[in-house]
Structure 1
Amino acid sequence: MSTEAPPPRSTEDGRPPGPSPEEFAAVQDSPEFAELRRSYRSFAFPLTVAFIAWYLLYVLLSNYAGGFMGIKLYGNVNVALVLGLAQFATTFLIAWWYSRHAATALDPKSEAIKARMEGTE
């Protein structure tokens, strides 16, 4: 297997060069990083809380509302089955939605920060 990329640079002690801890701290304090963190948190935290609430609602209904969950909707399909399948559907929907959000809002910002840190802007 071959690659066209040059071998990584190294310092005198054989370690690859990289940003110092002070540079990492400076980036962590930068407005760009704060915006990246805000974009992530404003998406992930509310969605996580909403999904956990939705999951707990399903569990509570299963435990305490057996009559409701046992209502037949069509043939042998009852409310519990429909809500259980909806759990899977919302899991995949959230994963897809986060992937889109990351690709459009998070990845470009993180790549810009990474390029600046590595000096490849």
Structure 2
Amino acid sequence: MQNSAEFAQLRTKFRKFVFPLTALFLAWYFLYVLLSVFARDFMGTRVVGNVTWGLVLGLLQFVSTFVITMVYARWADRVFDPEAEALARRMGEHR
């Protein structure tokens, strides 16, 4: 199965979805880290009461993780998993 064209196509589809999403998240994460190191005044600026930009952006890290997880799960349910199951069935028939 691993050497089949269908599997290669499915793997490519997976990578085209997952790699850009991972790169986007890592860029966002490293931006937060870099801001924490090099823009301390900005990160320490209070937005409301004792809430700073650093805290807001840090909490948004968690939010973005959940959003990415939901986006991936929805994509996998609608696009990837049905194709992977169909491929597995076809390959099982060719045993």
TM-score by length of 1: 0.73
List 4+ stretches of structure 1 deviating above 4 A: none
TM-score by length of 2: 0.91
The answer to whether structure 1 residue 111 and structure 2 residue 70 are counterparts is no
Deviation for aligned residue 1:105: 1.2
Higher alpha-carbon Rg: 1
- The RMSD of aligned alpha carbons is 1.4
Match in the other structure for 1:70 = 44
The number of residues matched between the two structures is 94
Secondary structure class of the residue paired with 2:81: helix
Deviation for aligned residue 1:29: 3.3
Match in the other structure for 2:70 = 96
Deviation for aligned residue 1:36: 0.9
Q: Is the 8 A contact 1:32 1:113 kept in 2?
A: yes
Secondary structure class of the residue paired with 1:73: strand
Q: Structure 1: any 5+ residue segments left out of the alignment?
A: 1-26
Secondary structure class of the residue paired with 1:29: coil
Deviation for aligned residue 1:118: 1.9
Match in the other structure for 2:5 = 31
- Which structure carries more helix by proportion? 2
Q: Is the 8 A contact 1:32 1:109 kept in 2?
A: no
Q: In structure 2, what residue type is equivalent to 1:31? A: A
Alignment of 1:30-49 (within 5 A): 30-49=4-23
